[in-house]
């Protein structure tokens, strides 16, 4: 059903006019249907740029090659089949010149070739080389234009504007005759800021300090304190890990040759957290994630090499190399540029000016890279007992694995299938044991999931229709056309990754700064200027505030690409400090609140939700960095959720239910669904019950005898505010009643079928969970109700 | 600056959800505001681009013949020439080279017999299914792209090798589900994960609400089936009292802010969660079935799964995927294949009879089949006890129920079953047909993601109208 010819489409879309001028659609059609398949199937093996050894100096995979001919002369004379060597060869009339060697072509195929030469050998492949004509509509798109210096607009109410940013917001509101909402109260503001920057609620003391600080820079002090917190990197690092499709497993490892675990993915995760904490300039952050191994800096600090995990923590697609490369092209172009370059894998991009050749330019870069079998150690290794133990075990396992791997071809050859399978199974076990050792052994030194340049960089052929067996012209490694000056330099430095990184981390790149500013804005306001953070192409909605986007992007670049400075700029503005109060008239004019006439109400993602529940219960383990913990296996572990073991092919149900960014693709904006499993988590999960119990067991709570004061305590801890009179009376009423009696729902056995009834699993609740099976007291139930209520899960 | 404009009086414009439902005489969970008033006003700002995801039942755009789908996935790739596609020519050639097939013919070790009024030949390995052949539509001309298990399994369930929503997710997206107390798309597996894992029931870029809920039917306790389905300490009546308090707290919170759709929809989620605690586990509780029913399905892993599937369909679940694999017979086919057939023969036959007696057969589309087929030749690795190697060019898928004509075969493979040659049905075509039976034009059931309209059948798919009743 693959009948859509990419070239026909080009013609139809009008941006391959050079093609149209040379060939009629019928000619192109004839070539694609009758000629190209014959050449590809029967000739390319020996006569193409991809041939292992080109025979007779003849290349048939380009028009130039055909016309130039090989050692015996020109292959075809357009219009004259009788004079064409190629025709002579396929006809098998000359015993010394018979091609293909093993089998004569069918008569039909020969007739087609003759007809084709007769009509002048129309060959669309020549047109592919020609520069595609650029359609103005496509090149005028706002996102490809340079970031502009913009003037701060005049507004109706200059007093409202604390920062120039606010002028841009108010100017847009003025156009619609809308007014910004009142400033948020201090408690709301500090809660919003704290969740925004560190993903945790403020403590009652922090709230009190802020409320009683009447100095004009009170909020600036809060923002600076939060930006300096080591938990800032955990919050913002997680946003970036969504983009980086981070996982501690490969998902689909190469069969037989690697284990599913990524034992060192966490070193990349820590790199990301650390980079945010250190306010690493964003351009440097980009450079390191694409080409840390090509920068001098890693020699001073080898941990920088961990940055390359950005490229390598993707799926391994059962070893299908073309899919692995596709994933890397995808994460780089969507992640940094919000461009869907991978749409051009099989054909020119349908909407954006990204020719298919651009995809293969990038493919050449990543195809010129290798992942070393053993990742380099980046920590200083000292010969401790632990390390020696690790080293010995690893050497042993590696030797065993190598021997097994070496034995496989022998078994296969001898036809001893059982022995072969057994060896393969054992090999897989050894590989898993090595990965487990690397991940879990305390003596295992940190390593970086690097990518390295191959000995020699090479260009990639274009795959026609994306089919690996259908190779077209060779495409040089170089940057994307739409982001380049007319004479794009060809990449020559190794794989070209360093040059690619420089092209992206550049002030001249119209997308890089805008894309990151948009991501930052989204996580502060609930939506970006451009609502599709990973696609700024022609199909995306235009930015709500294009001038402000440029203002911030310019500011970002001229202030050393400092992300923290951008946070500060944004958060000290009036627009950030608006209240979330609604307005019925405004709802009708701007239902999505794109103009930001108020603050959006935002639901916490799973990570800050779980983390804040643990913090509220006084149970949060605040250690930063380190190896992952599998919260499914250790449900009573209270480390922050960013340290949870992410298993790409087997994501924890609870994460799925809370719209976790599945690490299969770049996820700049998570879905937000409301499903009953989320409610079940807050209603029934042993963790939430435990938090409720812990709250009520807090010494301060126990020491308080007055019920109203107890309510106050719970409200301050959970919502960072005192209860209203209405809420107090509701609470007093609830705790005054005796819990209703009754049995908990039985944990009935499911079925009696299945041969492997596993008694070990036959426990009501896994792990810690319910050592304490006593019913909740009214106070505990009340505390849990507060945790279940919306205010816990939402920031306003 | 006019502060007055910002008082929280959205309810002046719209009834609150609760008021509306009270006046309309409806209970919770009947309708959502967004469904009533259109999405724009109530879509949360963060997802202004995205229509609100809902599980509420929706009418399909075209006349539908089926309302539910049960897909029994015979993972591992069953041999079609030993089950549903008899090849006497192959038996005649047994032991000889088949020209062009690069191997030695392996006639089926199993007898085929004409069954039912239709006289369709069915292998002896499916005695009970054979009796029901007049209810079955045997599609003998299936083919797929790549003869590798993982890739083809995911392909069969998502129509792609890339990260794409599964058929069940598309159906749920298009139709919603009839029982708001239960997930609308449930995948049943007897332990372990199939090749491709969650990719087989993923929602991918569709909202997570359309994701299949994967249930390991071999776990020993009900509460392990759906995470947090049981509260370990609080009895139901008391939990009701607590939940009422939660709603009151939310009411106050919501008034202080605005009637925001994302806050409102949580009320519904909590009420559904509350009901799921009894309803959802009930659906999986086979102890509630009479002994005779247990015997009819057979007390086995697949018997249990098919019986659970029936209980789910009865409760309005839209799409049930049942994993019934183990068909990868490279060797010992004669010995092993009948075991796999036996696993599912009685349960599936019981399921069909049971749906019929409950009047659910006509509205439930049943699909049985694997990810590809097998070769007519001996697998070289099979030695003295041969099996067959992978074959993506030919396999059989059996359809029944909802809108499908029983007692027919469709399409043909060549004399040896090496390749489908007549009325070929690609995986995309099967998907297009499933969607058509549910009332959709597969080309129009699309979802916009990253600026492109995606659909289940990518750029292909022909509806096989000949199988319609």
pLDDT at A92: 86
Contacts of A255 (CB under 8 A, 6+ apart): A318, A319
Rounded (5°) CA angle A207-A210-A212: 105
Task: Note the pLDDT tens digit of each residue in B216-236.
Answer: 887 666 666 778 888 888 999
Residue A764 has pLDDT above 50, yes or no: no
Residue A199 lies in a domain: no
- Interchain pair A751, B286: CB under 8 A: yes
In a domain? residue A580: no
Q: Do B229 and A684 touch (CB under 8 A)?
A: yes
Of B199, B236, B281, the CB nearest to A742: B236
Domain with A53 in it: 6-136
A482's CB contacts (< 8 A; 6+ apart) are A139, A144, A352, A353, A354
Residues A346 and A289 in one domain: yes
**Residue A770: band (very low, low, confident or very high) from pLDDT cuts 50, 70, 90:** low
Distance from CA of A792 to the nearest CA of B (A): 10
Give the tens place of pLDDT for each residue, A288-323. 999 999 999 888 889 999 999 999 999 998 788 998
Closest-approach residue (CA) in chain A for B260: A601
Q: Please report whether residue A581 resides in a domain.
A: no
The answer to whether the Cβ–Cβ distance between B238 and A654 falls below 8 Å is no
Put simply, whether A185 touches B (Cβ < 8 Å) is no
B296 interfacial to chain A (CB closer than 8 Å): no
pLDDT of residue B46: 30
Per the structure, how many domains does chain A have?
A: 4
Residue A16 CA: distances (Å) to CA of A20, A134, A405, A663, B17:
7, 8, 50, 36, 55
Residue A17 pLDDT greater than 80, yes or no? no
A671 and B47 in contact by Cβ < 8 A? yes
- Among B222, B273, B303, select the one facing A680 at the smallest CB separation: B273
Tell me whether residue A156 is in a domain: no
| Distances from the Cα of A400 to the Cα of A397, A405, A473, A518, B88, angstroms | 5, 9, 44, 51, 50
Does the model's pTM come out above 0.80? no
* Dihedral of the alpha carbons of B308, B310, B316, B317, in degrees to the nearest 10: 50
Most confidently modeled of A8-12, A173-177, A590-594, B265-269?
A173-177
Which position has the token pair 């079998």? A373
Mean pLDDT confidence for A561-570: 98
Q: In this complex, is the C-beta atom of B48 within 8 Å of any C-beta atom belonging to chain A?
A: yes
Residue B252 contacts A, CB cutoff 8 Å: yes
Q: What is the dihedral of CA B164, B169, B175, B178, to 10 degrees?
A: -170
Residue B80 pLDDT greater than 70, yes or no: yes
Same structural domain for residues A436 and A488? no
Q: For A280-295, give one letter per residue: b (16+ CB within 10 A) or e.
A: bbbbbbbbbbbbbbbb
More confident call, B141 vs A748: B141
Those of residues 408-467 in B touching chain A at CB distance below 8 A are: 426, 428, 450-452, 459-460
pLDDT for A261 equals 95
Q: Above 90 in pLDDT, residue B276?
A: no
| CA dist B429 → A5, B32, B204, B377, B463 (Å) | 21, 35, 21, 27, 6
Which residues of A, range 625-684, sit inside 8 Å of B by Cβ? Answer: 649-651, 653-654, 656-657, 659, 662, 664-665, 669, 671-681, 683-684
Q: Are residues A676 and A729 in the same domain?
A: yes
Q: Do B451 and A656 touch (CB under 8 A)?
A: no
In chain A, which residues have their Cβ closer than 8 Å to the Cβ of B225? 750
Final residue belonging to a domain, choices A483, A509, A525: A525
- The two tokens of residue B415 are 């004399």
- Find the CB nearest B5 among A179, A659, A740: A179
| 8 Å CB contact of A754 and B285 | no
Residue B134 Cα, gap to closest chain A Cα (Å): 30
Nearest to A677 among B227, B266, B299 (CB): B227
- Nearest-Å Rg of the Cα atoms of chain A is 32
Residue A266 and residue A413 share a domain: no
- The answer on A369 and A249 residing in a single domain is yes
Question: How many angstroms separate the CA atoms of A621 and B217, rounded?
Answer: 35
Residue A604 predicted with pLDDT over 90: yes
Is B3 an interface residue toward A (CB < 8 Å)?
A: yes
The pLDDT assigned to B226 comes to 77
B339 and A CB contact within 8 Å: no
Tell me if B130 is assigned to some domain: yes
CA distance B418 to chain A (A): 20
What pLDDT does residue B50 have?
A: 36
Whole-angstrom distance, CA of residue A644 vs CA of residue A633: 10
Residue B11 has pLDDT above 50, yes or no: no
- pLDDT tens for residues B26-60? 333 333 333 333 332 332 333 333 345 678 899 99
Q: Which residue of B has its CA nearest to A766?
A: B224
Q: Residues 81..140 of B with a Cβ closer than 8 Å to A: which?
A: none
Inform me whether the pLDDT recorded for A745 exceeds 80: no
B2: which DSSP letter? Answer: -
**Chain A, 208-227: which have a CB under 8 Å from a chain B CB?**
none
Contact (Cβ atoms closer than 8 angstroms) between residue A331 and residue A504: no
B238/A742 Cβ within 8 A = yes
User: Residue A22 — pLDDT band, cuts 50, 70, 90?
Assistant: low
51-80 in chain B: CB under 8 A from chain A: 53
Identify all chain B residues contacting A337, using CB atoms and an 8 Å cutoff. Answer: none
Query: pLDDT tens digit string along A89-132?
Result: 888 888 778 888 778 888 888 888 888 888 888 877 753 433 34
Q: Residue B285 is encoded by which pair of tokens? A: 């509780």
Contact with chain B for residue A526, Cβ under 8 A: yes
- Asked if B255 is an interface residue toward chain A (Cβ–Cβ < 8 A), one would say no
- Domain count along chain B: 1
Neighboring chain B residues of A675 at a CB cutoff of 8 Å: 208-209, 269
* Whether the Cβ atoms of residue A195 and residue A616 lie closer than 8 Å to each other: no
Least confident of A395-404, B64-73, B241-250, B276-285: B276-285
pLDDT the model gives residue A496: 97
List chain A residues with CB under 8 Å of B253: 789-791
pLDDT band at A758 (very low <50, low <70, confident <90, very high): very low
> Residue B145 domain-assigned?
yes
Smallest CA-to-CA distance from A312 within A295, A294, A332, A298 is with A332
Digit-coded pLDDT (tens) for B291-332: 999 999 999 999 999 999 999 999 999 999 999 999 989 888
Q: Which is more confidently placed, A720 or A652? A: A720
- B49 touching A, CB under 8 A? yes
Chain A residues close to B272, C-beta within 8 Å: 676, 679
The answer to whether position B286 is within a domain reads: yes
For B417, left (φ over 0), alpha (ψ -120 to 50), or beta?
A: left
Q: Which of B191, B266, B299 sits opposite A756 (nearest CB)?
A: B191
Question: Residue A516 burial (CB < 10 Å; 0-12/13-18/19+)?
Answer: buried
Q: How far is B269 from chain A (nearest CA, A)?
A: 5
The reported pLDDT for the residue numbered A135 is 64
Going by C-alpha positions, the residue among B32, B354, B202, B335 that lies closest to residue A650 is: B202
Termini Cα distance of chain B: 67
Report the distance separating Cα B256 and Cα A752, nearest Å: 52
Average pLDDT value for residue range A133-162: 89
| pLDDT tens per residue across span A509-557 | 999 999 999 999 999 999 999 999 999 999 888 999 999 999 999 999 9
Token pair in block for residue A151 = 């003037």
> Does the pLDDT of residue A9 top 80, yes or no?
no
Helix%, strand%, coil% for chain B, nearest 5: 40, 15, 45
Kindly state whether A725 is in contact with chain B, defined as any CB-CB distance less than 8 angstroms.
no
DSSP conformation letters of B394-452? -EEEEEEETTBPSSEEE-EE-TTSSSEEES-EEHHHHHHHHHHHTT--TTT-EEEETTE
Band the pLDDT of A16: cuts 50, 70, 90. Answer: very low
Indicate whether A254 and A345 sit together in one domain.
yes
pLDDT band of A421, cuts 50, 70, 90: confident
Model confidence band, residue B14 (pLDDT cutoffs 50, 70, 90): very low
The SS3 of residue A427 is helix
Considering the domain architecture, whether residues A647 and A777 belong to the same structural domain is answered as: yes
Residues of chain B positioned with their CB less than 8 A from the CB of A350 = 452
A502 and A622 both lie in a single domain: no
Is the CB of residue A292 less than 8 Å from the CB of residue A268?
no
H helix or E strand, kind and range, residue A455: none
The yes-or-no verdict on residue A69 having pLDDT over 80 is no
State the best of A339, A530, A589, A674 to mutate against chain B, taking most chain B CBs within 10 Å.
A674
Mean pLDDT of B171-180: 93
A225 within some domain: no
Q: How many CB pairs under 8 A join A and B?
A: 333
Task: For chain B, say whether A170 makes contact (Cβ under 8 Å).
Answer: no
Same domain (yes/no): A95, A241: no
Domain boundaries, position B175: 68-228+269-349+388-395+406-467
Report whether pLDDT(A500) > 50.
yes
Percent over 70 (pLDDT), chain B = 83
Per-residue pLDDT for B267 more than 60?
yes
Helix axes A686-697, A778-788, angle to 10 degrees: 120
B99-138 as b/e: b if 16+ CB within 10 A: eebebbbbbbbbebeebbebebbbbbbbbbbbebbebbbb
Answer yes or no: do A432 and A462 share one domain. Answer: no
pLDDT tens digits, residue range A168-224? 999 999 999 999 999 999 999 999 999 999 999 999 999 999 999 999 999 999 999
Asked whether residue B140 carries a pLDDT value surpassing 90, the answer given is yes
> A667 and A694 share a domain?
yes
Q: Is the peptide bond before A100 cis (omega within 30 degrees of 0)?
A: yes
User: What is the mean pLDDT of the segment spanning A373-386?
Assistant: 90
Q: Burial of A149 by CB count in 10 Å (0-12 exposed, 13-18 middle, 19+ buried)?
A: exposed
| Region of poorest pLDDT, from A466-470, B130-134, B171-175 | A466-470
- In whole angstroms, give the CA distance from residue A308 to residue A499: 15
Does A358 share its domain with A392?
A: no
- What does pLDDT average to over chain B? 84
CB-CB under 8 Å, A351 with B258:
no
pLDDT at A747: 58
- Average pLDDT, whole number, for chain A? 88
pLDDT confidence of residue B17:
37
Which residue of A4, A539, A786 is in closest CB contact with B452?
A539
Q: Which secondary structure element, helix H or strand E, spans residue B97, and what is its range? A: strand B97-98
Question: Considering the domain boundaries, does residue B163 fall inside one?
Answer: yes
């Amino acid at each position: 059903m693959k009948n859509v010819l990419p070239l026909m489409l080009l013609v139809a879309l009008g941006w391959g006019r050079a093609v149209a001028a040379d060939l009629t659609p019928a000619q192109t059609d004839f070539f694609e249907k009758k000629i190209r398949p014959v050449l590809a199937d029967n000739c390319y093996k020996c006569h193409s740029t991809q041939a292992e050894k080109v025979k007779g100096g003849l290349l048939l995979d380009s028009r130039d090659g055909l016309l130039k001919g090989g050692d015996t002369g020109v292959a075809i004379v357009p219009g004259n089949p009788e004079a064409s060597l190629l025709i002579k060869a396929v006809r098998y009339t000359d015993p010394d010149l018979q091609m293909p060697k093993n089998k004569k072509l069918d008569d039909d195929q020969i007739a087609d070739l003759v007809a084709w030469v007769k009509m002048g050998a129309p060959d669309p492949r020549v047109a592919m080389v020609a520069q595609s004509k650029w359609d103005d509509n496509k090149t005028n798109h706002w996102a490809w234009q340079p970031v502009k210096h913009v003037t701060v607009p005049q507004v109706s109410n200059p007093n409202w504007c604390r920062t120039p940013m606010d002028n841009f917001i108010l100017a847009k509101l003025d156009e619609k005759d809308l007014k910004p909402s009142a400033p948020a109260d201090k408690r709301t503001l500090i809660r919003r800021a704290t969740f925004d920057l560190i993903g945790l609620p403020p403590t009652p003391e922090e709230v009190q300090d802020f409320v009683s600080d009447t100095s004009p820079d009170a909020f600036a002090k809060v923002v600076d304190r939060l930006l300096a917190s080591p938990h800032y990197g955990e919050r913002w690092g997680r946003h970036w890990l969504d983009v980086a499709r981070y996982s501690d497993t490969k998902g689909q490892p190469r069969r037989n040759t690697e284990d599913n675990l990524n034992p060192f993915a966490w070193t990349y995760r820590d790199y990301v957290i650390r980079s945010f904490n250190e306010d690493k300039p964003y351009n440097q952050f980009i450079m390191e994630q694409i080409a840390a191994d090509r920068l001098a800096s890693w020699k001073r600090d080898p941990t920088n090499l961990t940055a390359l995990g950005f490229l390598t923590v993707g799926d391994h697609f059962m070893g299908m190399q073309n899919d692995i490369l596709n994933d890397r092209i995808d994460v780089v172009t969507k992640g940094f540029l919000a461009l869907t370059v991978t749409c051009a894998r099989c054909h020119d991009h349908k909407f954006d000016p990204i020719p298919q050749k651009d995809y293969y330019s990038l493919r050449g870069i990543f195809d010129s890279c290798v992942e070393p079998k053993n990742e380099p150690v980046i920590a200083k290794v000292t010969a401790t007992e632990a390390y020696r133990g690790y080293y010995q075990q690893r050497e042993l396992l590696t030797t065993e694995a190598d021997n097994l791997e070496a034995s496989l071809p022998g078994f296969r050859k001898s036809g001893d299938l059982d022995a072969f399978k057994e060896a393969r199974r054992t090999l897989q076990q050894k590989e898993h044991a090595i990965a487990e050792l690397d991940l879990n052994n305390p003596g295992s030194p940190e390593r970086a999931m690097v990518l390295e340049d191959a000995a020699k960089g090479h260009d990639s052929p274009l795959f026609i229709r994306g089919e690996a067996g259908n190779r077209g012209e060779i495409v040089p490694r170089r940057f994307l056309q739409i982001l380049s000056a007319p004479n794009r330099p060809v990449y020559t430095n190794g794989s070209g990754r360093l040059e690619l990184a420089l092209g992206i981390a550049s002030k001249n790149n119209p997308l890089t700064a805008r894309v990151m500013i948009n991501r930052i804005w989204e996580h502060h306001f609930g939506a970006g200027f451009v609502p599709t953070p990973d696609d700024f192409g022609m199909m995306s909605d235009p930015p709500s505030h294009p001038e402000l986007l440029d203002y911030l992007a310019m500011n970002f670049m001229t202030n050393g690409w400092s992300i923290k400075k951008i946070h500060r700029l944004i958060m000290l503005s009036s627009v950030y400090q608006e209240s979330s109060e609604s307005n019925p008239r405004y709802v009708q004019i701007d239902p999505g609140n794109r103009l930001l006439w108020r603050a959006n109400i935002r639901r916490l993602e799973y990570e800050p939700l779980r983390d804040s529940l643990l913090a509220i219960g006084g149970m949060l383990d605040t250690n930063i960095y380190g190896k992952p913990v599998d919260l499914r296996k250790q449900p009573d572990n209270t480390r922050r959720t960013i340290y949870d073991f992410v298993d790409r092919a087997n994501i924890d149900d609870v994460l799925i239910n809370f719209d976790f960014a599945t690490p299969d693709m770049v996820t700049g904006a998570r879905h937000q669904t409301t499903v009953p499993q989320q409610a079940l988590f807050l209603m029934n999960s042993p963790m939430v019950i435990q938090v409720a119990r812990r709250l009520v067991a807090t010494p301060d709570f126990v020491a308080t005898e007055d019920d109203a004061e107890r309510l106050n305590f719970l409200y301050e801890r959970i919502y960072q505010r005192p209860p209203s009179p209405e809420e107090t009376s509701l609470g007093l009423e609830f705790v005054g009643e005796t819990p209703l009696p009754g049995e908990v729902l039985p944990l009935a056995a499911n079925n009696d079928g299945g041969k492997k009834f596993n008694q070990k699993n036959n426990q009501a609740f896994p792990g810690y969970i319910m050592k304490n099976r006593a019913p909740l007291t009214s106070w505990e139930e009340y505390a849990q109700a507060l945790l279940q209520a919306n205010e816990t899960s939402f920031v306003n | 600056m006019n502060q007055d404009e910002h008082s929280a009086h959205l309810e002046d414009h719209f009834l609150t959800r609760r008021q509306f439902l009270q006046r309309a005489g409806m209970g919770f969970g009947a309708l959502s505001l967004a469904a009533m008033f259109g999405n724009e006003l109530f879509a949360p700002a963060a997802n202004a681009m995205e229509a609100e995801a809902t599980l509420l039942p929706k009418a399909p755009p075209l006349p539908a013949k089926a309302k539910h789908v049960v897909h029994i996935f015979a993972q591992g790739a069953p041999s079609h020439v030993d089950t549903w596609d008899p090849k006497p020519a192959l038996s005649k050639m047994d032991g000889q080279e088949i020209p062009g097939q690069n191997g030695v013919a392996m006639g089926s070790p199993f007898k085929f017999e004409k069954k039912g009024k239709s006289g369709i030949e069915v292998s002896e390995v499916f005695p009970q299914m054979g009796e029901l052949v007049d209810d079955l539509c045997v599609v003998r001309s299936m083919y797929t792209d790549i003869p590798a298990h993982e890739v083809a399994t995911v392909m069969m369930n998502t129509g792609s090798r890339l990260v794409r929503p599964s058929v069940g997710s598309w159906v749920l997206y298009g139709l919603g589900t009839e029982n708001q107390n239960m997930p609308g798309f449930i995948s049943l597996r007897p332990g372990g994960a199939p090749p491709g894992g969650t990719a087989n029931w993923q929602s991918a870029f569709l909202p997570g609400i359309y994701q299949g809920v994967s249930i390991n039917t071999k776990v020993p306790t009900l509460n392990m089936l759906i995470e947090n389905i049981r509260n370990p300490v609080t009895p139901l009546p008391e939990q009701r009292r607590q939940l009422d308090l939660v709603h009151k707290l939310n009411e106050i919170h919501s008034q202080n802010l605005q009637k925001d759709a994302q806050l409102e929809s949580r009320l519904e989620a909590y009420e559904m969660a509350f009901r799921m605690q009894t309803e959802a586990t009930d659906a999986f509780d086979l102890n509630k079935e009479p002994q005779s029913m247990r015997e009819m399905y057979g007390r086995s892993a697949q018997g249990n799964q098919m019986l659970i599937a029936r209980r789910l369909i009865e409760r309005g679940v839209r799409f049930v995927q049942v994993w019934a694999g183990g068909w990868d017979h490279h060797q010992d086919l004669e010995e092993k294949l009948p075991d796999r057939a036996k696993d599912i023969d009685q349960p599936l036959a019981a399921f069909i009879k049971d749906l019929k007696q409950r009047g659910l057969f006509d509205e439930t589309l049943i699909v049985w089949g694997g990810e590809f087929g097998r070769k007519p030749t001996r697998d070289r690795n099979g030695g003295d006890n041969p099996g067959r190697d992978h074959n993506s060019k030919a396999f059989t898928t059996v359809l029944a129920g909802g809108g499908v004509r029983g007692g027919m075969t469709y399409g043909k493979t060549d004399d040896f079953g090496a390749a489908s040659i007549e009325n070929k049905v690609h995986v995309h075509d099967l998907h297009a047909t499933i969607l058509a039976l549910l009332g959709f034009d597969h080309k129009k059931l699309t979802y916009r993601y990253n600026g492109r309209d995606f659909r289940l059948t990518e750029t292909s798919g022909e509806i096989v109208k000949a199988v319609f009743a």
